[in-house]
Structure 1
Amino acid sequence: MKRMLLACLLCLSSISASALELQGVKLDEQVQVADQKLVLNGAGVRSIFFIKMYVAGLYLAGKQTSTEAVMADANAKRIALNVVVDDADTEHFLKGFRKGIEKNHSEKEMAELQVRLDTFIHLFDTVKAVKKGDVIAFDWMPGNGTRVTFNGTELGKVAGEDFYRALLSIWIGGKPVSSDMKKGLLGG
């Protein structure tokens, strides 16, 4: 009886400790950004023409279920893109980011973001291609801007919380790249 109880407890503890897995990517349940512990809010898979490109995980200080709540949250945040496609030109990813931001912003808003969007694009000058296993992370660090990392190496920063919200709009904005992905990132 004791053995069976112990076995059940071990199974339950391993279930609760396991990370979410999508497309073979295990997402951390918690990460640290700007000295703040963040929890996995949700995750989703980005596909283009039936080709799975990346698994995204959204990390927040506390669980949120709406775009408005995520955007209004002044705490640190992270969206991490875990590449699952075998090989892709970095330019392909950057065009997708730009298009996703443009879909969610007016011409006037884009004009206000343009210099910082150009800075963001240039951060990837040293990254010629992305491949399966690569991780691109965008961290909002209050007071320090958006930190961009590639496989754990910082590429640089972009100023302004509005820029980070513009990035998030790609995945959870009014016109996201995928409604299923938005639902997943928002814990649905």
Structure 2
Amino acid sequence: MNTDPHLFRFRSAHRLMLAATILAGAGLWALPPAAQAVTIAAIDVPAEQTVNGANLVLNGAGLRQRFVFQVYVAALYRPQATQDVQTILDSTEPQLLRLTLLRDINSKALTDALNDGLKANNTDAQLAAMHDTIQTFEAFMKTGGEGASGDLVDIHFNQGKVSVSFKGKALGEVSDPRFATALLKVWLGEKPAQESLKQALLGQASAH
């Protein structure tokens, strides 16, 4: 019996390499790429965020434009990056959508734009079923006041709850899993605010 330790280490290493090759061929060895920080419209978007003790990684980020105007940079963070829309829409895990404003805008105008997105991606029946939640959301959103370039709008999703902070000030929270999904559809639905931004948030296209 050959007990050469060098031969034993070689055979062990060979077995590990063979196993890795088989796993890779089966699609089980592949891991999602590590999130990387990006810069969009002169806004630095970090690769990670910590929200209420949860470590979130950048799923994707992109520029929201309306006509020739740059409106905001949007960045989506979640526990693990994914390009699957339904996974994001159905998730009960912590998720953060951060909007960094690129122009002056008041909270009423932002709320109106979100309402347009809700109407575009949900049926009348769905909106009617969420009427009270939407009314509550609108009411606290409109208390945010004026926003300027560089201000942050943070929309937190967790366990069916949606909370919003504007310029670092908490505006309010609603608890309705249907609304959490509906609000995400503003950016990720079949009729998103901007198709190129949707793809960027999913990490499927250039963020710039």
Unaligned regions of 5+ residues in structure 2, if any? 1-33
> What SS does the aligned partner of 2:63 have?
strand
Unaligned regions of 5+ residues in structure 1, if any? 1-15
Aligned residue for 1:152?
168
Moved more, 73-82 or 117-126: 117-126
Contact 2:90 2:181 in 1 (8 A): no
Contact 1:101 1:167 in 2 (8 A): yes
Identity across aligned pairs (percent)? Answer: 27
The answer on 1:55 being equivalent to 2:55 is no
Moved over 6 A (4+): none
> What SS does the aligned partner of 2:190 have?
coil
> What SS does the aligned partner of 2:113 have?
helix
Alignment equivalent of 2:110, drawn from 86, 93, 96? 93
Aligned residue for 1:104?
121
Alignment equivalent of 2:199, drawn from 175, 180, 183? 183
CA RMSD in angstroms comes to 1.7
Alignment equivalent of 2:178, drawn from 162, 169, 181? 162
Instruction: Kindly name which structure, 1 or 2, has the bigger radius of gyration based on alpha carbons.
Output: 2
User: How far 1:160 sits from its partner (Å)?
Assistant: 1.3
Return the letter of the residue paired with 1:82: T
| Count of aligned pairs between the two proteins | 171
Question: TM-score, normalising length from structure 1?
Answer: 0.85
User: How far 1:17 sits from its partner (Å)?
Assistant: 9.6
CA 1:159–1:18: 2 relative to 1, 3 Å: closer
User: How far 1:113 sits from its partner (Å)?
Assistant: 1.5
Alignment equivalent of 1:171, drawn from 169, 177, 187? 187
Question: TM-score, normalising length from structure 2?
Answer: 0.77
Alignment equivalent of 2:56, drawn from 22, 35, 38? 38
Give deviations 1:85-142, integer Å, cap 9, x for gaps: 1x12322211110000110000000001221111111112332221101100110122
